[in-house]
Structure 1
């Protein structure tokens, strides 16, 4: 799930893109792009709330260790940071996990790529950033793509890869919550620092999830397998923690408008992994939907500042 803002100087970045920096961007796109298919694997034997809790039981201690010398924040910041954690970590990631359970890995990956759309919308509303007609056209095109992707629901595929309307709805709820989280976190991290805010809101989100996960464990069967452990570890370490650090490095060494493009590479790797792992069918309607979504996202974010002021999603 998924970054805070950096300072203005870091966001400016140099004007050139070295092979090393490009490699870092591609690596991050792979790491985050694989998150939806890997979540799908983790849910095979563990229910959604429990799996989300496992992911953050891995990530939170690492974030606390990394930010151990910066954990002090003003008392007045605590309510906002806690609310941010409940919004982004609890609602955003729990909704995403339910969404992944109810969609094919390919559909889940593509719908999660709508997060930048909602970033544009919330930045316009909260940060008063202008949205040109071409940006709105991009939003409409991307939503049209979502409709096409949702219609191709994997008929004849295994239950694990079936897509339901409720699954798509959960993924959209997750995208909205995470986008709002990014806009809000941009304000908080500018005041109190990236790592302290990331660590404390992740802890607050985990505390909110744990009782729900405990209740779910008492109601549903589950099995902790090697696959459960490595998938939760991957999401906690590679997506939530290492992904954050690599994203912050990229923001320091390349222009933010270039770094934001990593968001649009994620679905490519996610779809490829989904087809390999689950045999997802990538028919003509799905392909048309992907083109509309990615084209709409690119148009919506063109010459727009929101993606440059917040971090890309942690899926």
Structure 2
């Protein structure tokens, strides 16, 4: 296993910026879903992201044909399952609940990194995993203010967001293996393209059957998710995973729920019940144990 150095001031700043940008993604997605259906919003997001990603690839990095099947599978996993599950999950969860559940992505990154990149996992990290799952259950069971429709969270919606967290985390770890062989820009761009192509038939069906109106809010959401979260965020994250230890890169990301919950409270007036607050404490505590403790 290669040894990665501790973060520099520049990489630490990049991690803080990423926590802010990604922390806002769930509340902004929730905002976009007020005017656009889930698959349409997801397709529009990646229609914006894909051309921008290939700006960093054309004439610079090439993929051998033998790599395409794995890159295609990576894209279908990350977008066709991960991003679609997240968007559908956000429909049936409050922005705050979805943010907390999505915050477990770094936890699963550490777990999968231990499995595939041979990074050790300690007993305390396993304890952190259990605590975080208990926290997720409490967050999903909290209903906030019953009079507020936007504050409602269904168990099905929470399960979809959790499925998204698992698949996206595996996408990131698998990406590290492939970027070591073929380069960050090429893997990110081609996997996103394959995932987008796989999504198009389903998005087309939705656009044909579900009436919607393109608004400035919906378009602005797609631009933020496409440019900031997908392009800038993904390149930052993959760069960090290649330059600092996974547990450190993932550790700083547990600031995401702080950003997301604060934004959700301002944007949607999400009410935080006792179970929700206890769940936040368990998730954040579990994440802290999982991503900051060195393996024995």
- Specify if TM > 0.5: yes
Q: Secondary structure at the match of 1:12?
A: coil
Rate the CA distance shift 1:304–1:153 in 2: closer, same or farther, 3 A: farther
Q: 1:221 Cα deviation (Å)?
A: 1.4
Partner of 1:227: 217
Name the counterpart of 2:267. Answer: 277
Q: Among residues 228, 234, 241, which one is paired with 1:238 in the alignment?
A: 228
TM-score where L is the length of structure 1: 0.87
Aligned CA RMSD, in angstroms, stands at 2.2
Instruction: Say if 2:127 is the partner of 1:137.
Output: yes
Partners of 2:42 and 2:84 within 8 A in 1: yes
Whole-angstrom distance in 2 between the partners of 1:302 and 1:262: 9
- 2:110, 2:250 within 8 Å by CA — same for their partners in 1? no
Aligned: 1:51 with 2:41: yes
In the alignment, the residues of structure 2 paired with residue 128 and residue 49 of structure 1 have an alpha-carbon distance, to the nearest angstrom, of 36
Q: CA deviation at 1:135?
A: 1.4
Q: Which structure 2 residue ranges, 5 or more long, are not aligned?
A: none
Partner of 1:302: 292
2:59 is paired with a residue of what secondary structure?
Answer: helix
1:74 aligns with 2:64: yes
Partner of 1:107: 97
Please state how far the C-alpha of 1:129 moved relative to its aligned partner: 4.0
Cα pair distance change 1:304/1:81, threshold 3 Å:
farther
Work out whether 1:12 is the aligned partner of 2:12: no
1:89 to 2:82 alignment: no
Tell me if the contact between 1:70 and 1:195 (Cα under 8 Å) persists in the aligned partners: no
TM normalised by structure 2 equals 0.92
Q: 8 Å contact 2:50–2:189 — kept in the other structure?
A: yes
Q: Compare 101-110 and 170-179 and name the one that shifted more.
A: 170-179
Q: 1:12, 1:256 within 8 Å by CA — same for their partners in 2?
A: no
Q: Where does structure 1 lack aligned partners over 5 or more consecutive residues?
A: 1-6, 306-315
